[in-house]
Structure 1
Amino acid sequence: MGRVNDRNDRNDTVSRRAVFGVGLGAAAAVAASGGMAAATRLPDVPETGRARQARRATPGLWLRWWGNNSWEIKTRAADGTVKTVLIDPWLTRFHTGTYSKQGADPKTRVTVDTALLDRMIDSGELRADHILVTHGHYDHLPDVPYLAERTGATVVGTETHVNLMLAMGAPKDQLSIAVGGEYLSFDGYAIRVLRSLHSASAPRGKVAFAGTRPAVPPSPPEYIRDLVEGGTLAYEVITESGASVLNFGGSNYIEAELAGLRPDVVLLPAGGGMVPDYVGRLLRALGHPPYVVPTHWDDFDEPLFEPAKDWGGLQPLRDAVTSASPDSRFQVIDHLETLRT
């Protein structure tokens, strides 16, 4: 896989949402100061309604959106240290044409903007204790091997995801294979791994770039068609205070896997048009969560350091949530913004 440093000019135009000032700010500075930087607070759920009667979100989660399904989740351990979990961190955002009329070219080359990632890591703005991979597609996986190498984070994914990352140079001893069903405890947080499904598209309802890479690592992925889905996982991250966030990397799910889960925040992808009652079944299964935050709704051919541009799925998702779970708050955040519960 080639790595290119072709975005040096991007950081010259980040005045609106400067990387080193948005959200939590540099993790190193946060840890040193012993306090969390200011962030937008999720508003209270109304006093009446099913979601409010069931529970309210408890303090302890800071969520920052890096576009697409890239999320940074921060919490504080009992000793005061800040812990960071990343989900599908893909900041390179090389051009693919995915949301254009023509769609993505399968022979688009896979690249990693190491200069951008280095600047963010070296500044302390980007760090990770865990990186969670929902599936192996080109808009989720490419930056993970390099981020793992630079941050020392433990990476969780399926056997296919792990083999793809090994082929891309990820440190072998940092990769952890999951199949769904794992419930793992760490210092300051726990991670629940759920079996899930990728969204389907086209007239026959197929998964784009389907397939697996079991047994041994493949050749290094050269084109986006080489980064196959490889099984899809969902993740719930739970803090010591009991606050939790549930993320889906594709607009589909296994309803039975959700039984008994009551997350405070659901990161819900736009789309799901081929899934019957996509939003309603999900929110009912989760007991009408207090907060629904949309994810995977921006056109990722557009710059990360500018306001997100909707590919067309945001309003239909909002309407579906309002109809299916009116007491849940639909909370939209923009690129690099941070919310806390």
Structure 2
Amino acid sequence: MDKGLSRRGLFGAGAAAAAILAGTPATAAARSAMTLRWWGNNGWEIRVGTKTVLIDPWLTRFKTGTYTPAGADPRTPLSVNRALIDGHLDRGFLRADHILVTHGHYDHLTDVPYLAERTGATVIGTETHLSLMAALGAPEDQLAIATGGEDLTFDGYSIRVLRSLHSATGSRAQVAFPGTRTLSRRDRPRVISDLLEGGTLAYAVSGGGASVLNLGGSNYLESELAGLHPDVVLLPPGGAKVTDYVPRLLRTLGHPRWVAATHWDDFDFPLGQVKDAGGLEPLRKAVAAASPGSGFVVLDHLGEFTP
């Protein structure tokens, strides 16, 4: 059965279909007060009433060559498109009470210091993530360190921080730009290879009668997820080097009602130009095979979904 999703905020009538869904959706009466909006890559906005949580917001999307045969050029300069971000903020289309960082790579962290400055949001991340953000100008009194295991309650929503793993790629199952740095470091990152992975976190956000789990990479710690039963899992494609990546995850989570694709678009294209980087269809097939009762959700940039 298919379910139509709101197209508010989409970029033009020519955009790709807002959603591809399979499985049994919730009825309108059972829908939660939580709304999810996809900002491309692993950027998500979770709204519960008047509160907003952002995960890995990266609107700038400068070209790196990540999805070309040569891969990302590590010397690519970092940049922040402040005019683009300001446009969304100034018209009230983007806001934040919390910003959650899954890891330190450029496509997850680059815009966060400026967004923190503009919104006043509290930012959660590891010591490395906070060191990088402070060096990039984030207000230090807004940075909250996490190591995984934190279970935090705020006005109208809660955030559970989970230890996790970054995607493992290539014949040696390696992590791109690995490494850590201490909070005392203040040398400013200049190119994308300066933004170290710095440990990977996953986040479970609950509120408004629903819960959502975000994985920042195509890997996870199964023991950390045991006992979690989110309504929605935001799942990246890939995981070729991870044993039973999709079936083991969905089985551990009790076969969630919804699986929403994340981190599947080619981010060398600007926000509003959605191009599959190649992993979307394999992910859809893997979810259908492993958990046929789960609805599979695909959004356009700035598309919305209410679980």
Q: Same fold (TM over 0.5)?
A: yes
Out of 292, 301, 315, the residue aligned to residue 268 of structure 2 is 301
Tell me which residue corresponds to 1:33: none
Percent identity of paired positions between Structure 1 and Structure 2: 64
Matches within 5 A, 1:148-159: 148-159=116-127
RMSD of aligned residue pairs (Cα, Å): 2.1
CA contact (8 A) 1:178 1:193 kept: yes
Out of 129, 133, 136, the residue aligned to residue 104 of structure 2 is 136
Does 1:225 pair with 2:219?
no
CA contact (8 A) 2:10 2:300 kept: no
How far, CA to CA, are the matches of 2:91 and 2:240 in structure 1? 41
Tell me which residue corresponds to 2:238: 271
Matches within 5 A, 1:315-330: 315-330=281-296
Tell me the amino acid that sits aligned with residue 336 of structure 1: L
Tell me the amino acid that sits aligned with residue 143 of structure 2: L
How far, CA to CA, are the matches of 2:173 and 2:263 in structure 1? 19
Alpha-carbon deviation of 1:217?
2.4
Tell me which residue corresponds to 2:254: 287
How far, CA to CA, are the matches of 1:57 and 1:107 in structure 2? 49
Tell me which residue corresponds to 2:59: 91
Matches within 5 A, 1:188-203: 188-203=156-171
CA contact (8 A) 2:19 2:300 kept: no
How far, CA to CA, are the matches of 1:122 and 1:334 in structure 2? 22
Does 1:163 pair with 2:131?
yes
Does 1:64 pair with 2:37?
yes
Alpha-carbon deviation of 1:115?
1.0
Does 1:100 pair with 2:68?
yes
Q: Secondary structure at the match of 2:79?
A: coil
How far, CA to CA, are the matches of 1:84 and 1:272 in structure 2? 29
Q: Secondary structure at the match of 1:198?
A: coil
CA contact (8 A) 2:21 2:298 kept: no
Tell me which residue corresponds to 1:17: 11
Tell me the amino acid that sits aligned with residue 11 of structure 2: R
Out of 125, 134, 138, the residue aligned to residue 93 of structure 2 is 125
Matches within 5 A, 1:9-48: 17=11, 46=24
Tell me the amino acid that sits aligned with residue 200 of structure 1: A
Tell me the amino acid that sits aligned with residue 141 of structure 2: D
Deviations 1:161-213 (A, max 9, x none): 00000000000100000000001000010000000000011211110000001
CA contact (8 A) 1:42 1:340 kept: no
TM-score, reference length from structure 1: 0.82
Structure 2, unaligned stretches of length 5 or more? 1-8
How far, CA to CA, are the matches of 1:322 and 1:96 in structure 2? 32
Q: Which moved more, 1:164-173 or 1:206-215?
A: 206-215
Aligned residues: 293
Tell me which residue corresponds to 2:6: none
Tell me the amino acid that sits aligned with residue 89 of structure 2: I
Tell me which residue corresponds to 1:37: none
Tell me which residue corresponds to 1:79: none
TM-score, reference length from structure 2: 0.91
Q: Secondary structure at the match of 2:89?
A: helix
Give 1 or 2 for the bigger CA radius of gyration: 1
Tell me the amino acid that sits aligned with residue 129 of structure 1: D
Matches within 5 A, 1:166-177: 166-177=134-145
CA contact (8 A) 2:255 2:291 kept: yes
Q: Secondary structure at the match of 2:108?
A: coil
How far, CA to CA, are the matches of 2:20 and 2:212 in structure 1? 13
Q: Secondary structure at the match of 1:140?
A: helix
Does 1:252 pair with 2:219?
yes
How far, CA to CA, are the matches of 1:75 and 1:44 in structure 2? 25
How far, CA to CA, are the matches of 2:22 and 2:34 in structure 1? 15
Segments of 4+ in structure 1 off by > 6 A? Answer: 40-44
Out of 172, 178, 197, the residue aligned to residue 210 of structure 1 is 178
